[in-house]
Amino acid sequence: MSIKILGIESSCDETAAAVVEDGRVVLSNVISSQIDIHTLYGGVVPEIASRKHVERISQVVEGALKDAGCTLADIDAIAVTYGPGLVGPLLVGVSYAKALSYTSKIPLVPVHHIEGHICANFIENPELKPPFLCLVVSGGHTHLVMVKDYRDYEVLGRTRDDAAGEAFDKVARAIGLGYPGGPKIEKAAREGNEDAITFPRAKVEGSVYDFSFSGMKSAALNYLNSCQMQNIPVVQEDVAACFQRAVTDVLCDRASAAIDEYKPTAFAIAGGVASNGALRAKMKDMCDRKGIPFYNPSPIFCTDNGAMIGAAGYHEFMAGNIAGLDLNATPALKLGEH
Ligand code: KG4
Ligand code: ZN
């Protein structure tokens, strides 16, 4: 018999819900993005995000059930992101899921947002099973994770400062591309010369697998300042191409070193930045050369969505990880804490 999980996600600026069967088959996936609103402010405003989640969450959840041809009676568990993320937005999803679980008597399953991103890889790749190595790159996280088993993660490296997506967003804003920066940088980069400017590729002392993007971001901002002082016109496309190249080089370099040391049988990427075509091409190329399979979710499953929470929620549910009504939003939740 199949297990159907309703996944709910509201940790940042997407209100999302989905119905997922057995952790892999997506029956519906509804995403209400707030990007147009936050674009006006150049980034996510947490208070506005919370209010928009409150306005939209019922329709999104009802839409996910309807699209899947389900009612609550068909759902085995309600999985919800309870961290990490913005506390206000997280609380909306958690409170909604708790209320739904209480009134419908359907078990409530707590899901870690990064675990959700990793599990997005199971959706379109039925053959993918742990163990494998996964690079999670999003607006809030840059983690190199050994997925030893379902629910069993070892973080090999993480960013010491900015996340990769955050760096894209900040540089995009500085060159006037607006929010969210990642997709805009990718588009502009296609028209740019990636050899025009050299940005530093910072190594982090102490850990081979840690990342640092704030130095790279500052180098880009310094370059823009010096152009302005000397009245040199800035070619947006060149800055985008060179910055994207620098970020993707560093991500690829660390992943390559970890593959050489840990010798995983597969490598996957996940998170919003994983929808970047240049990053995907570079990683695929690297894995081809090493002779290991490379996986990435379709872009719609890279950026925040409910399907990834339904996929991760399946494994939590099967392991008996059921939350009580005291479940709380946990903004700084660590990966691997159940
Ligand atoms: O996973 P996600 O939707 O939310 C977080 O958990 O943070 O990731 C959003 C991040 C943003 O920083 C956005 O600029 C970045 O992912 N992003 C991209 C692309 N699409 C989204 N970065 C680079 N290239 C893209 N195509
Ligand atoms: Zn995310």
Say whether pLDDT at 337 is over 80.
no
Say whether pLDDT at 254 is over 70.
yes
Write down the pLDDT at residue 202: 80
Of the chain, the end-to-end C-alpha distance in Å amounts to: 26
Region of 87 on the Ramachandran plot (φ > 0 left; ψ -120 to 50 alpha; else beta): alpha
- Taking only Cα atoms into account, the Rg of the chain, rounded to an integer number of angstroms, comes to 20
* Threshold 0.95, pTM exceeds: yes
Per residue in 91-125, pLDDT (tens digit) is: 999 999 999 999 999 999 999 999 999 999 999 99
CB 68 within 8 A of CB 27: yes
Ligand closest to Cα of 269 equals 1
The residue count of the chain comes to: 338
Instruction: Give residue for tokens 């016109």.
Output: 233
Per-residue confidence at 284, pLDDT binned at 50, 70, 90? very high
Distance CA 179, CA 114 (A): 22
Distance between Cα 139 and ligand 2 center (Å)? 7
And the tokens for 224?
A: 């823009």
Mean pLDDT of the region 248-275: 98
Per residue in 50-87, pLDDT (tens digit) is: 999 999 999 999 999 999 999 999 999 999 999 999 99
Instruction: Give residue for tokens 């940790």.
Output: 11
Mean pLDDT of all residues in the chain?
Answer: 97
Per-residue confidence at 47, pLDDT binned at 50, 70, 90? very high
Per-residue confidence at 48, pLDDT binned at 50, 70, 90? very high
**Percent of the chain predicted with pLDDT > 70:** 99
User: Residues with beta carbon inside 6 Å of ligand 1?
Assistant: 12, 138-140, 165-166, 168-169, 180-183, 186, 271-273, 275-276, 303-304
Distance CA 207, CA 98 (A): 40
**129, 135, 219 from 124: Cα distances, Å:** 12, 17, 38
Ligand 1, residues 33, 273, 301, 333: which to mutate, most atoms within 8 A of Cβ? 273
Write down the pLDDT at residue 338: 65
